[in-house]
């Protein structure tokens, strides 16, 4: 059983949703980002998504675009991202790590080499937003053959005719983008989320995680009653953007994570 499977199986027994947190690797700098990464599980994160810094993060809103700029400006790279995972694994062998980003850096690194190095570093899953299901042979199939889950995004515009193609060979969990647009934007109504989760469950047995626009403990709790996981990213990245010092960034991100985690953990009580 993979770390992702084990995590969701455990949470199902506990009758609660997962808190999936997102941060850009190396934001605002390597040392600060690593300290935050190591602190997230203790602050309530069940699964951690790490953004792979890229110059053109087209699916992301202003907050995460700025995070990419900060990380790249401080010398972050894909190799350093994998190094960060390796350092995290020295003290944590159970929290799933999912890398999220774009194909260009992986293609430049070399697909086979990247999958090998990512697996050795301790990566569990991958979300690559600009590789469609029609090109599974590019990355999805090699990743899964190398023991890394390939997680698909679905959106409100992914209709029932398209869904089987999108979900074909998907593994780990389904990431449902609850609004049409970029990260950190508007939020969907709970009725819309409920309907989307029910529709996805008709097509797949994989856990369904909801993201985009979730910023508060109350909102996270409401979504946690409907889905298998709640993804929070921009709300945490904003804390880094607003921090004056690295120490403040660490404290504020982990405090926000704890607050949202309390909402998620109390949602089904």
The more confidently predicted of residues 56 and 16 is 16
For the segment 160-214, what is each residue's pLDDT rounded down to a tens digit? 899 999 998 899 999 998 765 444 445 557 888 899 899 999 999 999 999 988 9
For the segment 140-152, what is each residue's pLDDT rounded down to a tens digit? 999 999 999 999 9
- Write the DSSP string, 165-227: HHHTT--S-EEEE-SSSSTT-----HHHHHHHHHHHHHH--S-EEEESS--SHHHHHHHHTTS
Kindly report the pTM of this predicted structure. 0.94
Catalytically active residues, by annotation:
49, 60
For the segment 47-73, what is each residue's pLDDT rounded down to a tens digit? 999 999 999 887 777 889 999 999 999
Strand 229-232 and strand 208-211: pairing?
parallel
* Cα 18 to Cα 59, 172, 191, distances in angstroms: 23, 13, 20
* Cα 106 to Cα 55, 102, 109, 112, distances in angstroms: 13, 8, 5, 9
* Cα 129 to Cα 104, 140, 143, 212, distances in angstroms: 11, 12, 14, 14
Please check whether residue 224 is in contact with residue 267, taking contact to mean a CB–CB distance below 8 angstroms. yes
Using DSSP's 3-state secondary structure scheme, residue 15 falls into coil
Q: Is the pLDDT of residue 156 over 90?
A: no
Q: What is the mean pLDDT of the chain?
A: 93
Mean pLDDT of 121-131: 96
Q: Is the pLDDT of residue 94 over 70?
A: yes
DSSP state of 204: -
For the segment 18-43, what is each residue's pLDDT rounded down to a tens digit? 999 999 999 999 999 999 999 999 99
Going by pLDDT thresholds of 50, 70 and 90, the confidence category of residue 218 is very high
Question: Percent of the chain having pLDDT more than 90?
Answer: 81
Using DSSP's 3-state secondary structure scheme, residue 255 falls into helix
Of the candidates 268, 247, 215, the one whose C-alpha atom is nearest the C-alpha of residue 22 is: 215
Please check whether residue 21 is in contact with residue 257, taking contact to mean a CB–CB distance below 8 angstroms. yes
State the pLDDT at residue 163.
92
Question: Percent of the chain having pLDDT more than 70?
Answer: 96
Q: Is the pLDDT of residue 13 over 90?
A: yes
E strand spans, the chain: 18-24, 47-51, 97-101, 125-128, 149-150, 153-154, 174-177, 208-211, 229-232
Q: Which fold has domain 3-265?
A: TIM Barrel (3.20.20)
- Which residues neighbour 245 within 8 Å (Cβ) at sequence distance 6 or greater? none
* Cα 49 to Cα 46, 191, 194, 246, distances in angstroms: 10, 26, 23, 20
């Amino acid at each position: 059983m993979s770390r992702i499977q084990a995590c969701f199986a455990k949470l199902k027994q506990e009758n609660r949703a997962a808190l999936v947190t997102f941060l850009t690797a190396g934001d605002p700098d390597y040392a600060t980002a690593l300290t935050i990464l190591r602190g997230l599980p203790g602050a309530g994160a069940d699964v951690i998504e790490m953004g792979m810094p890229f110059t053109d993060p087209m699916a992301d809103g202003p907050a995460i675009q700025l995070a990419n700029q900060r990380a790249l400006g401080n010398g972050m790279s894909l190799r350093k991202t994998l190094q960060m995972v390796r350092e995290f694994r020295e003290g944590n062998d159970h929290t799933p790590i999912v890398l999220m980003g774009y194909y260009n850096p992986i293609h430049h690194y070399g697909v086979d080499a990247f999958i090998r190095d990512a697996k050795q570093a301790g990566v569990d899953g991958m979300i690559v937003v600009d590789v469609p299901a029609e090109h599974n042979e590019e990355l999805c199939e090699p990743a899964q053959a190398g023991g890394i889950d390939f997680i698909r995004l679905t959106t409100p515009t992914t209709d029932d005719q398209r869904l089987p193609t999108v979900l074909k060979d998907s593994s780990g969990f389904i990431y449902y983008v609850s609004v049409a647009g970029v990260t950190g934007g508007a939020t969907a109504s709970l009725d819309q989320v409920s309907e989307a989760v029910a529709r996805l469950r008709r097509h797949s047995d994989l856990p369904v995680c909801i993201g985009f626009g979730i910023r508060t403990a109350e909102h996270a709790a409401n979504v946690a009653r409907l889905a298998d996981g709640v993804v929070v990213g921009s709300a945490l990245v904003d804390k880094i953007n607003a921090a004056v010092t690295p120490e403040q960034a660490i404290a504020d991100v982990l405090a926000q994570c704890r607050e949202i985690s309390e909402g998620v953990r109390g949602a089904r009580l």
